[in-house]
Amino acid sequence: MTENNGCLGDGYTRTDYLLSAEEINALPELEQQDDIIFEYNQGDSNDCTIYSALGALSDLYNREVTKEQIEECNEESYKRGRIKWAWWYTKMAVETCCDKWMIRYPTDKVFFYALRNRNNEENFKKILEKWYSICTSFNGNRSYQKDREDNGQIDKADHGESTYGHAVNLRKYGKWDRAVKDSYKGRKTNIYGLIPTIDELNNAGTRQNWSYVILKDTSAEEKIREDIKRLNRMKTRLTGMIEDNSAMWEDTHDEEYRKELHIINEMNRKKKKDCNRELAKYM
């Protein structure tokens, strides 16, 4: 299988938010995901950065990504400066895919942080232990591929001069505390282990300098859940008011009062439509 890959670099800028050790310690643990893991195949495209970002979001929500979503993110990447069908940057793909994800799933609020790859082994370990997928990229060549194919894992850190860059997901899987989920579903080693530490890989130049982790904004999710409850309460009350006013309209013979009831019910029906419109944004 041809591996065109397509990562120009990590894309880090000094304005990126960094995930602190305190924030990493406070991260909630995700559900164990070995039995629920979605794999994807980028084929002969150069879309690995898009697949890396969507792969992490897929792992975060245990939700399969559709071909339509992949195409949407590719199209958006072209609007954001990526040359069509060309390689791109990990950070820019993460930002693009997060934005498109929240448009498709309005109740999912996500944000991302940068992780320095060098001298950060302990923090990587803590994140992976909690089952998060990290968007990362490496510099590969034939030696790296041969190492992977020999026994389904990378055994050595240094593979010499690279010939391509490739974005993947770094996560916990099976017997490996550090595993790579690639974007070549169907390949025997699409998920493979990493025996060298992150620091060893970085010191050898195999890993690029920065990685990115996508997290759920649980505070925003709580606000959305409360808003949904509020809108449903309003709908219930409005329905009751409409029914009561309609019954009153039937019972009264006062034409002026009937006109008032009609006006009030029209307002209530309009407000109920507004509630439905607001709720639809969360669906």
* CATH assignment of the domain containing 204: 3.90.70.10
Q: Identify the helix (H) or strand (E) that includes residue 151.
A: helix 142-151
- pLDDT of res. 96: 97
d(CA 270, CA 262): 12
Cα dihedral 125→128→130→131 (10° resolution): -170
Which are the contacts of 234, defined by CB distance < 8 A and separation ≥ 6? 271, 272, 275
Residues 37, 67 within the same domain: yes
Amino acid at 109: K
Residues 113, 187 within the same domain: yes
Query: Which residues face 124 on adjacent strands?
Result: none
SS3 224: helix
Residue 43 lies in a domain: yes
Residue 202 lies in a domain: yes
Looking at the chain, the whole-number percentage of residues with pLDDT higher than 90 is 66
Contact in structure between 9 and 135 (CB atoms under 8 Å): no
Ramachandran angles phi, psi of 173, nearest 5°: -160, 130
Residues 211, 251 within the same domain: no
Contact in structure between 206 and 139 (CB atoms under 8 Å): yes
| Count of domains observed in the chain | 2
Q: Which of 97, 81, 102 is nearest to 220 (CA)?
A: 102
Residues 83, 195 within the same domain: yes
Domain's final residue, options 163, 198, 216: 216
Contact in structure between 89 and 10 (CB atoms under 8 Å): yes
Write down the residue that tokens 């009937």 correspond to: 258
- pLDDT of res. 4: 45
| Model confidence, pTM | 0.76
10-residue stretch averages of pLDDT, the chain, 283 residues long = 62 84 86 80 94 96 95 96 91 97 92 90 94 93 95 94 92 92 95 93 85 83 75 92 94 94 95 91 70
Residues 240, 212 within the same domain: no
Q: Identify the helix (H) or strand (E) that includes residue 176.
A: strand 176-181
Q: Which domain holds residue 145?
A: 7-216
- pLDDT of res. 2: 39
pLDDT digits (tens, 9 = 90+) for 70-99: 999 999 999 999 998 889 999 999 999 999
Which are the contacts of 171, defined by CB distance < 8 A and separation ≥ 6? 59, 128, 131, 132, 133, 134, 179, 181
Please give the DSSP secondary-structure letter assigned to residue 41: B
Residues 36, 176 within the same domain: yes
d(CA 283, CA 63): 15
Pairing of strands 164-173, 176-181: antiparallel
pLDDT digits (tens, 9 = 90+) for 22-33: 888 888 888 766
